[in-house]
Amino acid sequence: MPENLSQIDQAKANAARKAVEFVESGMKVGLGTGSTAAWMVRRLGERIRDEGLQIVGVPTSGRTAALAREVGIRVITLDEAKWLDLTIDGADEFDAEMNLIKGGGGALLQEKIVATASDKMIVIADAAKEVAHLGAFPLPVEVIPFGAEVTRGLVEELLGAFDVMGRRTTIRMSGDEPFRTDEGNLIIDLHLGRIGNPRQLALMLNQVPGVVENGLFVDICDRIVIGHADGRVEVRDIHDLSIEVSETLIAETGNIFSNIGD
């Protein structure tokens, strides 16, 4: 465990600690993937150990499943759960309307399935993830390997009809090889700069043959918990437009997954 956390890690830990307060015994909880979500999973493990919290978790990646089991969370599949009370996950970007870009860690498909199979989705993030317009973070698009370059060309052609700042695309790599998702698919990252209409783009990307899913999460998030390094936590609710600011303790657990997206 590092003795001195970075300010970003402190902010992530604070957001995760606050978000876990919304979890109650008996819940079926979707467990996100990424550096911020790792804080959340470890905090849930602490509550299970120290408070006797009784939950089951549905992880959104193999990495999260391994961590959940390590900290004492009982893991089940989404088919076993059928429906979830709550999903808590991170985000790579979010805007004022709580639209998100996710998939920096490569788990966007499972993350979107789990989030949409939940009564509520809570997003945890540090304040730096808030943007006026989505798109500075590359938008991940998961595609099947067959004809991936053709699919990539079709996506680039599609972008010409949308209000975006850039149209460059890249195949995500892992060392010298293309990155593979848990499903064995590839990811095309779209370097758009700014997305004028996230809802429309999300719908149209999924019409391209070969595209499995994209990292735009529109009308899915119910609440965002924003952590700050000084201990402040801001909670925004999309339904009643409320904003709550409070303070929480900085988490004491080391950060794993620090090298992947939220």
| Nearest-angstrom CA–CA distance, 248 and 129 | 19
By C-alpha distance, which of 95, 107, 129 is closest to 31?
Answer: 107
Flag whether 36 is marked binding: yes
Per-position DSSP letters for 143-197, written without gaps between them: E-STTHHHHHHHHHHHHTTS-BS--EEEE-EETTEE---TTS-EEEEEE-S-BS-
By C-alpha distance, which of 91, 126, 136 is closest to 233?
Answer: 126
Flag whether 170 is marked binding: no
CA 247, distance to chain mean position in Å, is 23
**Active-site hit among 111, 213, 244, 252:** 111
Beta carbons within 8 Å of 176's beta carbon, 6+ residues apart: none
Flag whether 87 is marked binding: no
Flag whether 12 is marked binding: no
Flag whether 240 is marked binding: no
**141: three-class secondary structure by DSSP:** strand
Flag whether 253 is marked binding: no
Beta carbons within 8 Å of 86's beta carbon, 6+ residues apart: 22, 23, 27, 28, 29, 30, 118, 119, 120, 121, 122
| Nearest-angstrom CA–CA distance, 71 and 162 | 44
Flag whether 82 is marked binding: no
Flag whether 89 is marked binding: yes
Flag whether 182 is marked binding: no
Q: What is the DSSP letter of 130?
A: B
Flag whether 102 is marked binding: yes
Flag whether 28 is marked binding: no
Flag whether 104 is marked binding: yes
Bridge partner list, 169 = 190
Residue 111 known to be catalytic? yes
Judge whether 62 and 42 are in contact, CB under 8 Å.
no
Flag whether 19 is marked binding: no
Q: Residue ranges for the binding site?
A: 33-36, 89-92, 102-105, 129
- The residues annotated as belonging to the active site are 111
Q: Residue ranges for the binding site for substrate?
A: 33-36, 89-92, 102-105, 129
